[in-house]
Amino acid sequence: MADPASTPLGKMLLEEITPVVMVLCTPYVEESCLKNGLSLIQLLSPFCDFTNIDVPVRTASDQPYRLRKFKLRLFYSSDIRQPNLEVAKERLKKVITHVGEKNFLESSDPSQVNNLLSRPESEMLPSWFQFFNKELVRTLSFSDHEAFDHPVACLLVVSSKDDEPVNRFVDLFNTNKLPSLLNDSAMDPKIMKHYLLLHDNQDGPFNKATKLLADMRNAFGQNDCQIICFNSSQDGKIHHQDNPWAPFKSDALPTENLGCFLNLDDLNEIKDFMQELSSKHIIPYMEQKIRVLNQQVSATRKGFRNQIKNLWWRKGKEDTIDTPNGPVYTFNSIESQIRILGDYAFMLGDYELALSNYRLISTDYKLDKAWKRYAGVQEMMGLTYFLLDQSRKDAEYCMENAFNTYLKLGSAGRRNATRCGLWWAEMLKTRDQLKEAATVYFRICGEDTLHSAVMLEQASFCYLLSKPPMLHKYGFHLVLSGDHYKKCDQIKHAIRTYRSAIPVYKGTTWSLIKDHVHFHIGQWYALLGMYDVAVTHMLEVLASTHQSKTTQELFLRDFLQIVQKTGKTFEVLKLQLPVINISSLKVIFEDQRTNASAAAASVKESLWHSLEEDMIPSSTARSNWLELQSKIIPRKYKESNICVAGEALKVDIEFKNPLQIRISVSSVSLMCELSANPEEDANSSNNEVQNNEDRTSTSSGDINSCLILSEVGFSLEGGETTVVQLTVTPRIEGILKIVGVKWKLSSAVVGLCNFEFNPVNKRVVRGRRKQHSPSSDLKFLVIKSLPRLEGFIHSLPEKTYAGDLRPLVLELSNQSKFPVKNLKMKISNPRFLYAGNQKELNADFPACLKKKMNVEKSGSHANVNKTLQNLFHFPEDISVQEETSLSWPLWFHAAVPGSIPLYITIYYEMEGVSSIMKYRTLRMHYNLQVLPSLDVSFQLSTRPSRSQEFLLRMDVVNKTTSECFQVHQLSSVGQQWEISLLQPVDSILPSQSLFAGQSLSCFFMLKDRRRSSTSEDSIPSLSHIQSDVRLGPQDNSEAFFDVSSSPLADFHDCERSSQGMSSQGCEYKVDFVFIAQLPKGNRDSSSNAPLVFSHHACDCSPSSMSPISWLVDGPRTIQHNFSAPLCEVNLKMTITNSSDAIASVHINTFDSPSSNNQPIDDATTSQPPEHQSGWSEIPIVNDTKIITTEALTTRVPKSLSLESVPQYIWSGTSSTKLVLQPRSTAEIPLQICVFTPGIYDLSNYVLNWILTPVNDGENQGEANKSSGVCQGYPYYLSVLESNFKD
C-alpha cells in the first residue's frame, strides 16, 4: 500500500490535524491587509503550508527525526470557539445549493451503465464531496474534548501605524477577549506568544518601524518579536500569475486582483517569517512540551506501581462522580495532559508516541465513563493506526468503537459521529473496502436530511466504484439520496441523482422502481418549470398497467397538468396510451375487387378467389407460365397495390387501453403521404399542371388537399379494446403511402405511431404480398377514378324459417360517368339463391308460382346447367349505364336451417377508362339465419298385396315456437307418380293450420303410373294425373303451385344435387315437394302476400325394399269334409322382378316355422300329434297394416314357436327355382295339404333371390343388393269342416 500520508485521508489529516496558531491583531493591521483584498489570515495562509520544511525533531525518544511536512492553521481568536451550529448548517447548505446549481446546468446524462463505468474514477466522483466533507469536519473544530484544535501559539500582530505598539501588544492579549477555551481552563492559558509588527510601506518610512521593533524586543524578548514590511508596490498593479490566495478566498470575484500591492520581496518576507515561526518557535516549543509532558506522564502513570495505583484510585472515584458527560478535566489534570501529549506527538508525526498515550488515556476515560472523550481518543487511535499503516483491524475497530460511542451519546455526539464516520469511510476507501465505506456513509445519515443526502450520494459512488461495481446498490442509494435532497428542497440535486440512477434502471422490469424514478423526475422538472423534459419522463410512466387505479389516475392527471402547463400540444412519437396493436392492422382497399359491404371485405380472399376463378379473365389471359403477367400489366403496378382515386381506403386498427381508468381519445386519423407518380408524370401530359408542386400532404383532414382523412374519437374504459376503422380517400392519382396513425389523448397530447416502425407482420387483406416488403403493403398506386358498381339485395331477410321461398331484387347502381357491361354473377350457394329472369321482376308473388292452365313445359329446365355451375350470365344487351341502376330478380329459398353465409360476386367490365383495369368485381356477402320451421319426413312402404302401389306416410312437425303454418300441398316431382289422399286432411287437421309444436301425420297412396299403365294398357293424358295433392281446404279453388316450373323446379334440382342424388334415380325413388304457407300478417314483412315455404324431400324409397315382390293368391276360405283324409289347397304365387337385372328366385317351403335353416328336418321330427286341435292362436294381423319383413321375421318364431304345430304341409315341390327376366312377372303354383279345420298362416316359406346384372352399368346401390332372402308374409286360410256329408 501507498504511504498512508499520501492517501486522501492522510492528506486530509495532515491538513486538518495541525497546530493551531491564534492570531490577534489590531484594526490597522486588517486595514493594511485589506488593501490587497485580503484579511491578515488570508494573507498569511498560503505560507503556512510547508511541504518540505525539513526540520529535525526530537520528541520523547532520543533519536531525532526529520519532519518533512508541516502546516500551521491560523485563526483569529474570535474564531477559536465552537462554530455556531446554525451558521455552519447554513454555510453547508449554501455550499450544496451552489454546487447543485452549477452541476445541474453542466450535467450530462450517461445513457448507458457501461459509459458510466468507462469514465475515469476522478471524473466519476464529484469533486465537491471532498470540499463538503472538509467543511463538515470543520464545523466540529475547537471542541473541548480534543486537544489538536487548541492553539499551540499565539501570534500578536500590531501595525506600525498603531499608537504605542508595545502597549497594544499587551492589550491584545487581554483575557477578556480570549476564547473561552483558554478562559474556562480547558487548556493552558500560558501559551507561547509571538509578536509581529506589521509595517505598511505606503504609510511611511521603514526606519520608524525598526525603532518600534527595538522597543518590542526590549519589552517581550529578543527572539519573540519580528517585523514584516509589505505593500511595497505603490501603484497596486501587480498581478500574480498563480494566485496563491485563491484557495483561501473562495468568494473572490475573478476580477478582483488579490495581493495587488504585494511585490515579490513582500511575499518572500512573509514566507520567511512563517517558516521561521514554525521551525524556530512552534516546533521547538512543541518538542519541549512533549518532553515535559512525557516526563510527567512517565512519572505518574508509567510503571507497574502507578498503574495499580491509578486503577485503584479510579475504582474508588467511580461511585462519586456520575455526570452525563463524565468528569470535567481541567488542563492540568493528568488526563488532559496525556491527551495533549498524544495530540502534539500526532501533530509532529511521532505516531508511536501518540498511540501509546492515546491507549493510556482511553482506558482512563472508559473507566471514568467520559464517553465523549473516550470516543475522541478512540477516533484518534484509529487514525494513528491508519497513519502508522499497521493493523488495519485495530484501526477499523477503533473507528467503529468511536463511531458507536459517539452515537450512544445521542444528539450530542451525532456530529462527532459524522466526522468520525467520514474519516472511517475515507480510511476504508483508501483500503479499497468500498462496500464497507458505503455502509459507513449510510450509517452517518442522521437527523440532518441534507447531510444525509450527501452522504447517501457518496455511498452510492462507493458502490459504483467498488469492484465489481454494485450497480443495484448504486441506483438505490442515488434514489434515496434524491429523496433526501427533495425533502430539503434541493430539487436540482434530486433531479441530478435520479437522473444518474436512470441508466441503472433503464430497461428494468422492476416496474415500480421505473415508475417511481420517472414519475418523480417528471414532477420535479415540472416544479422547476422545465415542462418539456418533464413530459418526456412522464411519458414513461403513462402506461403503467401494474399500478393501482389511483396511481394510474395520479400519473395521468399529473401528466396532463404538465402538458397543459407547457401551453402547446405535444407530438409524441411513442405515446403508450392507448396501446396500438400493430399486428391487428388491417388495410382494406379495392382495386378491381370491390366490396359491397364491410362484411364482404372481411371474407377470406381465397374464398372469393375460388368463387371468381372461372369468371375473371386474368387467369385465362395467362395461358402458360412463360407469358408473365407483367406483359399485361406494367411491372410497377404489380409491385404496389392499386387503389382508385375517389375510393376510400379503410384501415382497421385496434386500440387498447392498458389502464384501469377511462381515457378519451379524439381526432384519430391516418397519416398519409400522397406523392406524384414519377413514371406517370414522365409519360402523360395530363398531370403536368400539378407536377410543379410537390404534392406531399402529410397533414390532417384538409378538405382542399388531395386527401380526405376521416377523424374518429372514442373513449376507452379500463382495459377495453376497440377496433377503429379509419379511411383515407385519395382524390388524385399518384402514389399514396400510409405512414402511420395519430390521435389526441385527452385533447392534450398528440400521439403518433408510425407503421413502419415495427416491421411485424401486418395483415393486409388484399393483394398478393409474398414478394413484398411490409412497407410496400402500405404503398398504393392511385389510379384514375373508375366506375364502381354498388350492389344491394332488397329485402333479403336476415332471419327466416327454413323453406322460405321468395323473390328478391338485386339492385346494381353505377354512380360513375361510364357505363359498365358484360355482367356476370356467381352465387356461392345456389340452394339458397339464384338469378331469375328479367321478366320475373315484376311478377306477382306467389301467384307466379301457381300452375297456369295452359301449361308450357318447354324451357322449364333451361337453366339447370346454369345453376349447377353457379355462374349466371346477364344477357348480352344488359349494361348499367352511367348514373343509373339495374334491378334483377333473384329467387331465394331457405333450404336448410342454420347460419348460412351467402357470397355473391358480380363481374363487370368497363371500356376505355383505364389501361390498368379492364374489369372489376363486386363482392357481396350476406349472412342468413335460417331457423327450423317444418320438419317433413316421408316414409314409404310397399303394399304387400299390390306391387305397384305404395303407402306414403308423411309426418310434419312444426318446430317453430310461435308460427302457425298452413299446409298447402304435397307434390311428387315428375310425371311418374300418382298421389292421392287416403283420408281427407279435414279429418286429421280440421283447421288446416299447424300450430307451433304440433305435428301432423298423413297417409297417401302412391301409384306407379308407368307400371299401372302397362298393366292397364291405356295411357292416360298427363293433365289428369294427380301428382299434386291439396292438403288445404278441399273446396278451395286455389291453383296448385307448379313444382315443375322455374323457381321450384330449379331449387328442387339444387336440393337433389346437394343431397347427393343423381337426377336419374331408381324408379322406386320419389321426390316430394311439400308446400306450406304462412298466412299474411303473421310475419313482420312488408309485403302482404303470404310467405311460401317449400320443403323438398328427395329419393324417398320404401325402406329396405327388395327388387323382388310377390303375391300369393288363392282361396281364403275353404270348406272341406275331413272325413276324407286330407284337403288340398291350390295357391298361386305371382313373382315380380322390378329390377333391371335378371333375377333367379328360389322358393323354399318348410313345414316348421321355427327355423329357416333346417326347415325340412324340423318339420319331420316335430310332427304334431293328431288329436291336437288345429285352432291355434293367430296373431291379429290386419291386412291393411304395413308390416315390414323385418318385423315378420321376429314375430314368427315368437308367436308360433310355443305351439310349433304345423297343421298343414306343403305338398308338391318343396323348393322351386326360376329365373325372372328384368321387369317381368312369373306365376308359380303352390299346394298345401290341410288335415284339420282351422285358420292357417301360410307364411313359412322363404324366397331366396339373386340378381345377375345385365350389364355393369348398374349403379352401386343395386349391385349391393344383388342377393337376398325374403320371409314369406302371412296369408291366412280358413279351412272349415263341411257340415253336410256326401
Which residues here bind other proteins, judged by CB under 8 A?
Answer: 463, 470-473, 475-477, 479-480, 508-510, 512-513, 515-516, 548, 550-551
Q: Which of 772, 768, 742, 750 is nearest to 759 (CA)?
A: 772
CB of residue 95 to other proteins, shortest distance in Å: 28
Nearer to other proteins among residue 261 and residue 555 (C-beta): 555
Contacts of 241 (CB under 8 A, 6+ apart): none
Nearer to other proteins among residue 196 and residue 543 (C-beta): 543
CB of residue 453 to other proteins, shortest distance in Å: 16
Pairing of strands 804-814, 885-893: antiparallel
Task: Identify the sign of the CA torsion 828, 829, 830, 832.
Answer: negative
CB of residue 524 to other proteins, shortest distance in Å: 16
CB of residue 406 to other proteins, shortest distance in Å: 20
Pairing of strands 721-730, 707-709: antiparallel
CB of residue 559 to other proteins, shortest distance in Å: 18
Identity of the amino acid at 633: I
CB of residue 473 to other proteins, shortest distance in Å: 5
CB of residue 276 to other proteins, shortest distance in Å: 55
Nearer to other proteins among residue 474 and residue 1041 (C-beta): 474
Nearer to other proteins among residue 508 and residue 699 (C-beta): 508
Nearer to other proteins among residue 218 and residue 550 (C-beta): 550
Task: Identify the sign of the CA torsion 509, 513, 515, 519.
Answer: negative
How is residue 63 written as a grid cell? 533519536
Q: Which of 1269, 1249, 1226, 1016 is nearest to 1134 (CA)?
A: 1226
CB of residue 564 to other proteins, shortest distance in Å: 25
Q: Which of 786, 777, 837 is nearest to 816 (CA)?
A: 786
Give yes or no for a contact between 56 and 39, defined as CB atoms under 8 angstroms apart: no
CB of residue 462 to other proteins, shortest distance in Å: 12
Q: Which of 822, 825, 794, 798 is nearest to 887 (CA)?
A: 794
CB of residue 582 to other proteins, shortest distance in Å: 22
- Mapped onto helix, strand or coil, the DSSP state of residue 845 is coil
Nearer to other proteins among residue 508 and residue 1201 (C-beta): 508
Q: Which residues pair with 1120 in a beta bridge?
A: 1281
Give yes or no for a contact between 667 and 734, defined as CB atoms under 8 angstroms apart: no
Nearer to other proteins among residue 508 and residue 1259 (C-beta): 508
Q: Angle, nearest 10°, between helix axes 471-487 and 511-528?
A: 40
Nearer to other proteins among residue 483 and residue 1055 (C-beta): 483
Nearer to other proteins among residue 185 and residue 439 (C-beta): 439
DSSP state, 279?
I
CB of residue 113 to other proteins, shortest distance in Å: 12
Find the farthest-apart pair of alpha carbons in the chain and give their distance in angstroms, rounded: 204
- Mapped onto helix, strand or coil, the DSSP state of residue 748 is coil
CB of residue 510 to other proteins, shortest distance in Å: 5
Nearer to other proteins among residue 472 and residue 769 (C-beta): 472
CB of residue 511 to other proteins, shortest distance in Å: 8
Nearer to other proteins among residue 546 and residue 1010 (C-beta): 546
Pairing of strands 1117-1120, 1276-1281: parallel
Give yes or no for a contact between 612 and 592, defined as CB atoms under 8 angstroms apart: no
Give yes or no for a contact between 1047 and 1073, defined as CB atoms under 8 angstroms apart: no
Concatenated DSSP letters for 977-1001? Answer: EEEEESS-HHHH-TT-EE-TT-EEE
Nearer to other proteins among residue 281 and residue 537 (C-beta): 537
Identity of the amino acid at 178: L
How far is residue 1110's CA from residue 944's CA, in Å, rounded to a whole number?
Answer: 8
Per-residue b or e along 639-676, where b marks 16 or more CB atoms closer than 10 Å to that residue's CB: ebbbbbbbbbbbbbbbbbbbbbbebebeebbbbbbbeb
Nearer to other proteins among residue 356 and residue 552 (C-beta): 552
Contacts of 7 (CB under 8 A, 6+ apart): 430
CB of residue 518 to other proteins, shortest distance in Å: 12
Concatenated DSSP letters for 851-873? Answer: PPSS---TTTTTTHHHHHHTEEE
Nearer to other proteins among residue 259 and residue 475 (C-beta): 475
- Mapped onto helix, strand or coil, the DSSP state of residue 883 is coil
Q: Exposed, middle or buried: residue 1062 (CB in 10 Å: 0-12, 13-18, 19+)?
A: exposed
Nearer to other proteins among residue 550 and residue 602 (C-beta): 550
CB of residue 799 to other proteins, shortest distance in Å: 41
Residue with cell 447548505: 93
Nearer to other proteins among residue 512 and residue 847 (C-beta): 512
How far is residue 962's CA from residue 967's CA, in Å, rounded to a whole number?
Answer: 16
**Residue/partner pairs of 986-993 with CB below 8 Å, 24 or more apart:** 986/1033, 986/1034, 992/966, 992/967, 992/1031, 992/1032, 992/1033, 993/964, 993/965, 993/966, 993/967, 993/1079
CB of residue 474 to other proteins, shortest distance in Å: 8
Nearer to other proteins among residue 46 and residue 503 (C-beta): 503
Edge-first strand listing for the sheet containing 1238-1241: 1117-1120, 1276-1281, 1238-1241
Q: Which of 1027, 1041, 1095 is nearest to 849 (CA)?
A: 1041
CB of residue 89 to other proteins, shortest distance in Å: 24
